[in-house]
Structure 1
Amino acid sequence: MPPASLLLPEAARLLHIGPHKTGSTAIQVALQEAGGTLEQYGAFYATGPRHRPDKAGWALGLKGRPAGTGQPPIERWNSLVRKVADAGDRRVCVSNEDFGRATGEQVGRIVGDLGGDRVHVVAVARRLDRYLPSQWQERVKAGDRRGFEDWLRVVLDLDNPDYSWDRLNVWHAHDLEALVGRWVDVVGPDRFTLIASDEQDRELLPHAFEDLLGLPRETLKPNPQRSNRGLSWAETEMVRAANQHCAEAGWSRAERRRFVKAGVLRELQSRPTPPGPRNPPLPGWALDQVRRLSEQRVARVRGLGVRVVGDLDTLLVPDDVTAAAGPVELPEVDVAVAGAAIAAVMRVALGAGSGADAAGDNGADEDE
């Protein structure tokens, strides 16, 4: 698809709705850091001091707010609305992956407040076999003690009619047919763009946003220092073990957040990713189900009539992805990584580092 066909009209309002775990942070940081260039080309990125207007969304009642924190005042949302309106005829981008969690009623409010018929929506779809391990990691960072397969048995139990927060958290924003439907019901298919993420093509996502906003190539560049790097499998298992010890000791959520999130996680995410596997393999039963789900979601998206950037077939599970063979042996944690984690806890205990605004700006401690 040539870039000219992606360019939005002047005064358009581009809402990037994520969803979570699809590379949103990298795009948000790049948009924020390129503010001067955006200005030159008649574009504007609407946020606050952070890379995304998260508190504005939480003020509206969107999911994703850190557990144990109060809902921000509605003035946070109203301030964002004014900022978008004051941008005038510039192309404005508002990026917040919590928009992907919005209910149908909230979608109507968001679109109406941020521009009505000037609003265009963009979402990113990711391969399920890549998304699920990443989402399990987020739950471990938030305090979950379950292993990958135990967690999968809950979130992939899609025929179970009983309510499950875990299933809702995984699928509300990643059931593509439902996600697209909630927004298309308000903006129509002509104003919805779906980007099929290709993890072999790291330029697809920034180039798509450059084309939508009328920006020259290389405007949106990743910043490794502000990237939301994931943990390795070994690091995740180390954090999961720490969660188990916290639970056995009877420590509160606030205490766990102080030492594990503000201490261990902040330290790990400030270090280079260690060698070794990034994610655990899917067990055979889960891989078979994920293949079927992937085929179904691609077939359904083809019939939605929305604009697609990229190749939908990249959302299918490749043939060379193999399942875990038998019981999975957990990876060993590097001695240097373990030592750094211990030192981080000591720093927090001694008062050299603390606070709830810890590693994982993506809302790892989500509201339940």
Structure 2
Amino acid sequence: MADVVYLHLGLPKTGTTYLQDRLALNRATLARHGVRYPVGPHDDMFRPALDLVERRWAGVGNDVGGEWDALVRRVRRAKGTVVVSHEILAGADRDQVERAVTSLAPAELHLVLTARDIARQVPAEWQERLKHQDVSSYRRFARRVRKNPRSDTAKSFWRVQDLTRVLERWSRQLTPDRVHVVTVPPPGGAPSELWHRFCRAIAVDPAWAPLDSVRRNPSIGAAESVMLRRLNTRLRAEGLGYDGYAELVRQLIVHDTLAVAENPRKVTLPPDAYDWADEVADRWHDWLVGSGVDVVGDLVDLRPVRPDPDAPWHDPDRPGQRAVAHATMDALVAVIMEADRRPGPDDQLVARVGKVARRLRDR
């Protein structure tokens, strides 16, 4: 059995894709230093995490039984230090937490949680939901998160985005010195700074993982988000399945095309929401200081950065139509080029997406 297990819970949208990919890329060199990242036959730990939290996921979920136990067996075979990481672990309930903690005993268990200020998390989470076929407007999503705690939207958001609730569920059996909160650096910094902070939390020399990752789970601009939301509505009516959506929309259109657009207009909190965001930051700060857990980075990083009071706020639900049309054309070109690249006389799935995209362009 491993001597020490570092269990990285997320939170979602805190650089987890980058961290996990860098761990995977450097598995061999890390192993030479006694650090294992036992992903098994898959590229990540999504399936074991899904099994633990007992969630269904479009395209996955019916065939993940036993994946957590298989991960535990890999941990038990390992020597030295083991790192386990997936952001959906943040949503585990108390019984699932108990199962995880018990199954990883008698190794010395440490929790690692990466955290980012709530002003960046709200728009990032909205966009992430759009990438999974949601059709909610930003205004509705943000209002429910802020003012309607009993709504399904708010419950699902806070379950994985409220660092105090996540740590209260996960850390009941651990001493504060075994709980590590890594703050995500402010915008504009090098991704390597997050990696260095993460390495300090898991007691790893950054030099043991020299290969950098180019994988990201980036946000998109306001116009691109509106285009995606409209496209989701049309594709829902067309009956596009999960596999086609994941390949053609989330990967091809969003990640490969829209996410690399030049100078997108960022989605930000409404100006009147920053007092609320500061209250969340105050609550997090007081809990972290009072709990005595190990904080890697600066607690100031969890404080929302207010915009210039004279700067105009652009409603993400109402971007310029020219910008939306431009994003639509980019998406349409990407789909057509993909259809042209594929072998065979006709790909009905690509043709259907192209048809919907053309209708959206002409709207």
- The TM-score range, normalised by the shorter chain, is 0.7 to 0.9
State the shift of 1:318 in Å.
2.1
Report how many aligned residue pairs link the two structures.
Answer: 335
Select the residue among 168, 183, 189 that pairs with 1:196.
Answer: 183
**In structure 2, what is the equivalent of residue 87 of structure 1?**
78
State the shift of 1:301 in Å.
1.8
- Taking structure 1 as reference, are residues 309 and 327 closer, same or farther at Cα in structure 2, changes over 3 Å only? closer
Question: Unaligned 5+ residue runs, structure 1?
Answer: 1-9, 355-368
Quick one: higher RCO (CA 8 Å, sep 6+), 1 or 2? 1
Q: In 2, Cα distance between the equivalents of 1:131 and 1:113? A: 31
State the shift of 1:351 in Å.
2.7
Question: Unaligned 5+ residue runs, structure 2?
Answer: 351-363
State the shift of 1:218 in Å.
6.8
CA contact (8 A) 1:125 1:194 kept: yes
**In structure 2, what is the equivalent of residue 241 of structure 1?**
230
CA contact (8 A) 1:196 1:308 kept: yes
Q: In 2, Cα distance between the equivalents of 1:235 and 1:256? A: 22
Q: In 1, Cα distance between the equivalents of 2:238 and 2:75? A: 43
Select the residue among 273, 282, 287 that pairs with 2:274.
Answer: 287
1:300-311 alignment, distance < 5 Å: 300-311=287-298
Indicate the larger mover: 284-293 or 137-146.
Answer: 284-293
> CA-to-partner distance for each residue in 1:41-81, whole Å, 9 max, x for gaps?
11110113444211112222344x42364433432122111
Matching residue's letter, 1:87: A
Matching residue's letter, 2:66: E
- Taking structure 1 as reference, are residues 209 and 288 closer, same or farther at Cα in structure 2, changes over 3 Å only? closer
State the shift of 1:216 in Å.
4.0
Select the residue among 254, 257, 267 that pairs with 2:252.
Answer: 267
- Taking structure 1 as reference, are residues 282 and 196 closer, same or farther at Cα in structure 2, changes over 3 Å only? same
State the shift of 1:343 in Å.
4.2
Flag as ranges the 4+ runs of structure 1 deviating above 6 A.
Answer: none
Q: In 2, Cα distance between the equivalents of 1:105 and 1:75? A: 17
Aligned pair 1:72/2:63, yes or no? yes
CA contact (8 A) 1:16 1:95 kept: yes
Select the residue among 297, 319, 336 that pairs with 1:330.
Answer: 319
Aligned pair 1:98/2:83, yes or no? no
State the shift of 1:185 in Å.
0.3
> CA-to-partner distance for each residue in 1:192-233, whole Å, 9 max, x for gaps?
100111134433321133332433437255422x33233233
**In structure 2, what is the equivalent of residue 351 of structure 1?**
347
Matching residue's letter, 1:228: N
Task: Tell me the TM-score normalised to structure 2 length.
Answer: 0.82
Matching residue's letter, 1:195: V
Matching residue's letter, 1:243: N
Q: In 1, Cα distance between the equivalents of 2:54 and 2:197? A: 26
- Taking structure 1 as reference, are residues 152 and 58 closer, same or farther at Cα in structure 2, changes over 3 Å only? same
CA contact (8 A) 2:24 2:37 kept: yes
Q: In 2, Cα distance between the equivalents of 1:231 and 1:57? A: 27
Q: CA RMSD in A?
A: 2.7
**In structure 2, what is the equivalent of residue 148 of structure 1?**
138
Q: In 2, Cα distance between the equivalents of 1:307 and 1:130? A: 23
Select the residue among 23, 45, 48 that pairs with 2:40.
Answer: 48
**In structure 1, what is the equivalent of residue 302 of structure 2?**
315
SS at match of 1:52: coil
Indicate the larger mover: 195-204 or 116-125.
Answer: 195-204
State the shift of 1:141 in Å.
1.5
Q: In 1, Cα distance between the equivalents of 2:49 and 2:89? A: 7
**In structure 2, what is the equivalent of residue 210 of structure 1?**
199
Select the residue among 51, 54, 59 that pairs with 1:59.
Answer: 51
Indicate the larger mover: 206-215 or 15-24.
Answer: 206-215
**In structure 2, what is the equivalent of residue 228 of structure 1?**
217
Q: In 1, Cα distance between the equivalents of 2:314 and 2:59? A: 39
**In structure 2, what is the equivalent of residue 366 of structure 1?**
none
Aligned pair 1:16/2:12, yes or no? no
**In structure 1, what is the equivalent of residue 162 of structure 2?**
175
CA contact (8 A) 1:260 1:345 kept: no
- Taking structure 1 as reference, are residues 62 and 324 closer, same or farther at Cα in structure 2, changes over 3 Å only? farther
Residue identity over aligned pairs, in percent, reads 27
**In structure 1, what is the equivalent of residue 353 of structure 2?**
none
**In structure 2, what is the equivalent of residue 364 of structure 1?**
none
